[in-house]
Structure 1
Amino acid sequence: MFHKEGHKIILFTLIIVVACFLLVDNFIAIFWLRTIILVALLVFLILILQFFRNPKRLTQLNDNTVVSPVDGKVVVIEEVFEKEYFNDKRIQVSVFMSPLNVHVTRYPISGKVVFSKYHPGKYLVAWHPKASEENERTTVVVENPIYGKVLYRQIAGALAKRIVNYATVKDDAKQGTDSGFIKFGSRVDLFLPLDTNIKVKLHQKVRGGESIIAEINE
């Protein structure tokens, strides 16, 4: 299954690849050169298909837990001052996505969307310290009656040119369901209450909609 955000790009890529196949096959007589070009075109098509894949995930709905909004690797776990919405200290957990990861963004928790804002910006590499504040990004806050408010921020990277965010204020968010997509991009930050029990470690690989990032301390 492929994400709807990739349908046009996949179709366009397929047309270009098929056209190039025909041209190369008819106009390049050197066998080794023709083979290299054809293999390169095939690899390019496979990469595009892989990038826009949208696998089904089995989310165990639980208001006491926060699941990872994306696939990737945990690159940040630290206490920070979140100044866009909360204006207080939070625990930040950041997940970095490589070009080979699924780039669907999913709601980390169920509840009501109380804040959603898009910020145009730069395209610094995703691991840059200023990427969270200067890159193209969207900020979404979901309020859960048990867990409280959870903020997640989609951040574009050096290759990303467009962030897609479906979350609008007053929407009902369901944990693990599709809330957006980052085209050719790269990182999501979570901002959680200080008394949260973090369940992941640095450099741990996580799966969107399934891996538990944190749970509430009872």
Structure 2
Amino acid sequence: MFHKEGHKIIAITFIVVVGLVLIVDSFISITWLNYLLLALIIGFLIIILQFFRNPKRNTLLNNHSVVSPVDGKVVVIEEVYEPEYFKDKRLQVSVFMSPINVHVTRYPISGKIAYSKYHPGKYLVAWHPKASEENERTTVVVDSETYGKVLYRQIAGALAKRIVNYAVVDQEAQQGADSGFIKFGSRVDLYLPLDTNIKVQLNQKVRGGESIIAEM
């Protein structure tokens, strides 16, 4: 199953791949070179297909816990000042996605969307300390009746050139549901209340919509 954001790119890639295969088969007579080029072409197709995959996730709905919005590795767990929405100190948990991770973004908790804003910006590498403030990004706040407000921020990386965000203010968000997509490598930051019980560790791998990041 592939994400809708990849349908057009996948279709174009198939057309390009078929054309390249025909060209190689017609004009390359050296056997080993023919096989090598075909392998590279097929490899390129596989990379595109796996990048836009959208596997089904079994989210156990729980408004007392926050699930990871994306697949990847936990790279930051620290107390920071959040300047855009809360304007106070929060616990930040950041998940880095490599190009081989699933890039679907999912709502970390159920509730009403209280804030959703896109910020144009740079394309620093996603782990750069200033990436969350200077890179292209979107900020979304979900207001849960039981947990309170949870902010998550999609951040573009050096390879990510487009962030897709489906969150609309005043709409209801369901934990684990599709909330957007980041194309080609990036990071997502979560900002949680200071009294949150963090359930992950640095360098731990997490799965979007399933891995529990924190609990009340």
TM-score range, shorter chain: over 0.9
Distance 1:89 1:31 in 2: 63
> Take 2:99 and 2:6, find their aligned partners in 1: how far apart are those partners?
14
Q: CA deviation at 1:32?
A: 1.1
Indicate conservation of the 8 Å contact 1:74/1:203, yes or no.
Answer: yes
Rounded Cα–Cα distance in structure 2 between residues aligned with 1:13 and 1:210 = 31
Q: Quick one: distance in 2 between partners of 1:151 and 1:100?
A: 25
Q: Does 1:33 align with 2:45?
A: no
Alpha-carbon distance in 1 for matches of 2:130, 2:39:
38
Amino acid at match of 1:195: D
Matched, 1:98 2:98: yes
1:47 is matched with which residue? Answer: 47
C-alpha distance after superposition, 1:132-186 (max 9, x if no partner)? 0010000000000110000000000001110000001001000000000001131
Counterpart secondary structure, 2:48: helix
Do residues 84 (structure 1) and 84 (structure 2) align?
yes
Q: 1:47 Cα shift?
A: 0.4
Other-structure match for 1:192: 192
Query: 1:66 & 1:6 partners in 2: Cα distance?
Result: 27
Match of 1:5 in 2: 5
Whole-Å separation in 2 of the counterparts to 1:88 and 1:140? 16
| Paired residue secondary structure (1:187) | strand
Q: Give the aligned partner of residue 21 of structure 1.
A: 21
Show CA shifts across 1:2-58 (max 9, x none): 000000000000100010000000101111111111100000000000000000000
1:172 aligned partner: 172
Contact 1:155 1:185 in 2 (8 A): no
Give 3-state SS (helix, strand or coil) of 1:164's partner: strand
Aligned-partner Cα distance in 2 for 1:35–1:11: 24
Q: Deviations over 1:41-85 (max 9, x none)?
A: 000000000000000000000000000000000000000000000
Task: Compute the TM-score of the two structures, normalised by the length of structure 2.
Answer: 0.99
Gaps of 5+ in 1: none
1:187 deviates by 0.4
SS of 2:179 mapped into structure 1: strand
- 1:64 paired with 2:64, answer yes
Structure 1's consecutive aligned runs of 4 or more residues displaced over 3 angstroms after TM superposition are: none
Name the % identity: 78
The one-letter amino acid of 2:145's match is: P
Spell out, residue by residue over 1:92-140, the C-alpha distance to the aligned partner (whole angstroms, 9 max, x if none): 0000001110000000000000000000011110000010001000000
Q: Which runs of 5+ in 2 are unaligned?
A: none
Does structure 2 retain, via aligned residues, the 8 Å contact 1:76–1:202? yes
Give the total of aligned pairs: 216
